[in-house]
Each structure stands twice: as C-alpha cells, then as structure tokens.
A = this chain, B = another copy of it.
Amino acid sequence: MTARTETDRVVALCGGIGGAKLALGLYRILGPGTLTVIVNTGDDFEHLGLRISPDLDTVLYTLGGIADPDRGWGCANETWNFMEMLRHLGGETWFRLGDRDLAMHVSRTEWLRSGKHLSDFVNRSADALGVFAQISPMSDNAVRTIVETIEGDLAFQHYFVRRHCEPAVKGIRFDRAAQSKPSGGAAKALSDPNTRAVVICPSNPYLSIDPILAVPGIRRAIEDAAAPVIAVSPIIGGNAVKGPTAKIMRELGLAVNTKTISAHYDGLIDGLVIDESDAADVTVADIPILVTRTMMRNLADRERLASEIITYAGGLLRRPSKRAVEFAP
C-alpha cells in the first residue's frame, strides 16, 4: 500500500440515487479534481420533447449539494407548478419534472439539439454548480436500456417510473450499446496511470452498472485498467436497500446474495465490499472481500464507507487482465 498523493485519482461507476450516495462520500474525502464519476445514461430518454438524463442529474445535484435529501432525486426546495399546469393542459404527467429541475432539461435539450455533446453539457453544469469532480456520461452516444418483461419490451423509464417496476423481468438489453464509444472523460479517467481505484458503486448491477459496462470501450478499459477494481454489493442482509434490484434478481432466477453479485462482476473486479449482515457469504467468494457497514443513512456513513474503500483498494493486488489472459499464447 502506497500513500495517496495529490495526483492520485479515483474512478467511480454509478447509476442514480444509491450509487450517488457513495459517489458523494468519495467526492468529500478525495481532493478536488481527483474523482471521476462515470454515470449510466441508459436511462436517458426523450419526454415531452425534452432530453432527460436522470442519473446524470442525480449525480450533479448530489455532488452540487442541491439534491432533495428525502426523495434522493431532483432538486431541494422544488416546486411542481409546471406539472400542475401540464395536467391542466391535458399533458402526460406520469414522469414528474420539478420546476427547478426543468432548467436542466430545457438547457440540455437545447444543447443537444444544436449538435453538441452531452459530456460538454455535463462539464458546464458541473462548473456552474461548483462541482470539483469530473462527471462523465458513460458515452456521448445514445444507449438505451430496454427491459424485457412478461408484458413485452419497455423503455427503461416506462418500466421504472410509469409501471413502477411491476411487470416481471425476463431480460434486459442495451440498445445501440455495441456501436457506442466511451465518453472522452470516461476513457481518459480509466486509462489514466494515476488512477488508483475503480469503484463500482452499489447501484443496481443489472439496470445501472450493466449499461455502463455494455459500452465496449468501457468494459475493455476496466479490464485493462492498472488500478484495482472494487465493487460494492447493493445487497444488505440478503435484500436490496431500495429499488427493484432484489425483485429483478428473483425474476431472473438469481439468488439474492453477495455471491451472485460477485459472480456477476467476475473477471472484472479485484475486490468486493459487502455488508456485515452478509458476512456469511465471505466463505464462498474467490476474491478478497471487505466486510463493513455498507448502509449509508447519512453523510458520515458515506464518507466512512468511501474512506474504507480507498484504504481497501490500496491493499489490493490487480489481477491479470482477463482479456490479456484470453489473448495469451
């Protein structure tokens, strides 16, 4: 384990609410400008003609200190008069857009329609919100998460928000992922020789992390990364803290435990962080495991977990690249 220096960098992969909690913890304990958060954009969609990036906004608002503390998504001190008027006008109201939040959607829509990159919009927004971390979409290409359910294929937000994750999931795919490229920020951070750890946040592995890993260049870059890759299991006490993770695992015929999570990231990770309530699972794992408290109820929890992960990463050995092994003579 080496002492961390000013140039040491950390990369986090995350989706929305749950993952953003750990991203905030990392942001707060690391030096300014040393954290890169690569964010899922498989959830992005066009609604009411607006280009909406739910996970990017959650990370921006969370790191910018303006996220609503109770909902976890959207802005604090939000009002809903746009929605009320929209309802009055007979518009679609199943996806809630707050009045403050709309400024992001309207600005982003104008930005993207003029042919500019999502990455640059996020950089600009992060600057405006005083965020001293690199927040990067997984890709500037549109990759779309499609949830294959017993009722047919559903675009992510239709499954997640409109249908409240009710239809049983048969599979999940990421349309146009094969042709997508990592965003410049994501590629740069993963190949940076100063990167000391790649942290897969406790976001939903199937809905929030897999879309990121479905970008071929990101998966390759993580496989090739010199830094250890650590996943934080979203399972606590044999269940998911929040959201549909456990429900989806059951629907996909998977056991809801850390072993399933470990197997899911097999070949990609060098270490797994699990909750103490799942300590019994340690015996079955074939990679180093850090057992700690992964529930993040408050800011102190987030900072402590982030700090433990960074320390843990410093003691991990990087496994040989799985890809490199495949290509070995």
Chain A residues within CB distance 8 Å of chain B: 48-50, 75, 77-79, 81-86, 88-91, 98-104, 106-107, 109-110, 113, 124-125, 128-129
In the complex the two chains form, is B102's CB within 8 Å of A84's CB?
no
CB A128 to nearest CB in B, in angstroms, measures: 5
In the complex the two chains form, is A81's CB within 8 Å of B100's CB?
yes
In the complex the two chains form, is B89's CB within 8 Å of A125's CB?
yes
Considering the complex, give the chain B residue whose CB is closest to the CB of A75: B85
In the complex the two chains form, is A82's CB within 8 Å of B85's CB?
no
User: In the complex, which residues of chain B have a beta carbon less than 8 angstroms from the beta carbon of A78?
Assistant: 81
Q: CB < 8 Å: which of B50, B82, B88, B104 contacts A99?
A: B82
Besides A84-B100, A90-B124, 20 more A-B contacts (Cβ < 8 Å) are: A48-B106, A49-B110, A49-B113, A50-B106, A77-B81, A79-B81, A79-B99, A82-B99, A82-B103, A82-B106, A85-B99, A85-B100, A85-B101, A86-B103, A88-B103, A89-B104, A89-B107, A89-B128, A99-B102, A106-B106
User: In the complex, which residues of chain B have a beta carbon less than 8 angstroms from the beta carbon of A106?
Assistant: 48-50, 82, 86, 102, 106
Give the complex CA separation of A89 and B106 in angstroms: 11
CB A61 to nearest CB in B, in angstroms, measures: 10
In the complex the two chains form, is A82's CB within 8 Å of B110's CB?
no
User: In the complex, which residues of chain B have a beta carbon less than 8 angstroms from the beta carbon of A79?
Assistant: 79, 81, 99
Closest 8 CB pairs of A and B: A49-B110, A85-B103, A99-B99, A81-B99, A85-B100, A86-B103, A81-B100, A89-B128
In the complex the two chains form, is B75's CB within 8 Å of A102's CB?
no
User: In the complex, which residues of chain B have a beta carbon less than 8 angstroms from the beta carbon of A86?
Assistant: 103, 106-107
User: In the complex, which residues of chain B have a beta carbon less than 8 angstroms from the beta carbon of A102?
Assistant: 82, 85, 99, 102, 106
Give the complex CA separation of A109 and B88 in angstroms: 17
Q: A82-B100, A88-B128, A100-B81 known; A107 and B75 CB under 8 Å? A: no
Could you give 6 example pairs across A and B, Cβ below 8 Å?
A49-B110, A79-B81, A79-B99, A86-B103, A99-B102, A106-B106
Give the complex CA separation of A106 and B91 in angstroms: 10
User: In the complex, which residues of chain B have a beta carbon less than 8 angstroms from the beta carbon of A82?
Assistant: 82, 99-100, 102-103, 106
User: In the complex, which residues of chain B have a beta carbon less than 8 angstroms from the beta carbon of A124?
Assistant: 90
Give the complex CA separation of A129 and B91 in angstroms: 12
User: In the complex, which residues of chain B have a beta carbon less than 8 angstroms from the beta carbon of A113?
Assistant: 49
User: In the complex, which residues of chain B have a beta carbon less than 8 angstroms from the beta carbon of A90?
Assistant: 124, 128
Give the complex CA separation of A85 and B103 in angstroms: 6
CB A60 to nearest CB in B, in angstroms, measures: 10
Give the complex CA separation of A253 and B113 in angstroms: 44
Give the complex CA separation of A102 and B125 in angstroms: 21
CB A108 to nearest CB in B, in angstroms, measures: 9
CB A121 to nearest CB in B, in angstroms, measures: 10
CB A7 to nearest CB in B, in angstroms, measures: 29
Give the complex CA separation of A231 and B283 in angstroms: 89
Considering the complex, give the chain B residue whose CB is closest to the CB of A102: B82
